[in-house]
Amino acid sequence: MNKSFKDKMISFFSNNPAITLTCMLLLVVSLVIAGASQKEVFIIEGNKSTAAVTFKSTVGELLDQNQIQLDLKDKVFPGIDSMIKDGDRVIIKRAVPITVITDGEEIQFITAEENVEDMLFAEGIALDEKDKVYPEMDTAISKGMEVKVVRVTEKEITEKEIIAYTKEIQPKPDWEAGEEKELRQGENGEKEKTIKITYEDGVEKSREVIDEKIIKPAVSLLIAAGTLDTKVLSRGDTIRFEKMMVMKATSYTDDIANTGKIGGNTATGTKPRRISGGGKWSTVAVDPKVIPLGTELYIEGYGYAIAEDTGGAVKGNIIDLFFTQNTEEYLAWSTHKTKVYILK
């Protein structure tokens, strides 16, 4: 069987060790000569590129030849021990000073890393998933820059909160507007909220409700309320009103018995008057917080009136009716509760 060329070559060198050794020596000498041959290499530092002619074999030897020193954190590409060949580019990146603010400290670093992320990794500054870094992680490193690491932590708390009861109205069309009756008491409810609090460098920045559950539902207040807004009076008149109020009615009068003349003006500047027999408008005093001055009224047992006076004792749900002193109506008067209609 014929041997292949490969087999023949293996057989030849195996049977001729002297020739094999000679070939190997020639190969080594060739490599040494190639390595020691003249090369032109470009040394790049920042924006400056310098052509260097050298017989040196490694990057480190090239730098020594050109008296280029590297500080501790300076970087060179390719590395110090890398072999060089004609036309290669050797890039030197000088470390620059920066400041890193983290965990309440300002730390000064010298770095030759490309960007913020690489610098933090190289300096052993670990980040949790939610931590924030300013500027962005892919920002290129520049001399004198400031990098801030904000530590973000979260915790959850639970809080109970009152659920205020609402008011529910049940209309009663045959009741007068303003007439009300409580059918069911209102009760507040209670709920529990789970809140996530976010802190940045130990300072609370935000709160977020992440869960809610009702512990006790609220019960609405149920009120029966009249909606009727008209009333036929005993004399046949029909009045239209916004609402009816049951108020404590008191009385006041002029001082003619003592001075022989009508008293002073009302709070609105008018003279107090009493117009009986269904006429309009007698003077009454009110609490303006309850009934605004100038409001037209119909008062059961008294007649049409206008709120145009006030009084020191007239506070809250009280209405003070003006009477002419020593009249039969005045002498028959007694304090009592009465219906007061606020007219439309």
The answer, yes or no, to whether residue 334 has pLDDT greater than 70, is yes
CATH superfamily of domain region 229-343? RlpA-like domain (2.40.40.10)
Bridge partners (DSSP) of residue 298 are 304, 341
Residues ≥6 apart with Cβ < 8 Å to 145: 98, 99, 135
Structural domain boundaries in the chain: 5-30, 39-93, 96-150, 154-224, 229-343
Q: Per residue in 45-96, pLDDT tens?
A: 988 999 999 999 999 999 999 999 999 899 999 999 999 999 999 999 999 9
User: For 39-93, which CATH class?
Assistant: alpha beta
User: For 96-150, which CATH class?
Assistant: alpha beta
User: Could you tell me how far CA 242 lies from the centroid of its own chain?
Assistant: 43
Instruction: Give the DSSP letter of residue 86.
Output: T
pLDDT of residue 69: 93
- Reply yes or no on domain 154-224 having CATH 2.20.230.10: yes
Same fold, 39-93 and 96-150: yes
Contact 247, 270 (CB under 8 A): no
Q: Per residue in 8-42, pLDDT tens?
A: 556 655 676 666 666 566 555 454 554 458 999 99
Kindly state the helix (H) or strand (E) to which residue 13 belongs, with its residue range: helix 5-15
What pTM was estimated for this model as a whole?
0.55
Computed over every residue of the chain, the mean pLDDT equals 90
Contact 116, 141 (CB under 8 A): yes
Helices (H), the chain: 5-15, 17-35, 59-65, 116-122, 256-259, 328-332
Neighbour tally for 261: CB within 10 Å: 9
Bridge partners (DSSP) of residue 283 are 306
Tokens matching residue 111: 């770095």
DSSP for 188-202, please give it: -EEEEEEEEEEEETT
Nearest to 86 by CA among 49, 46, 35: 35
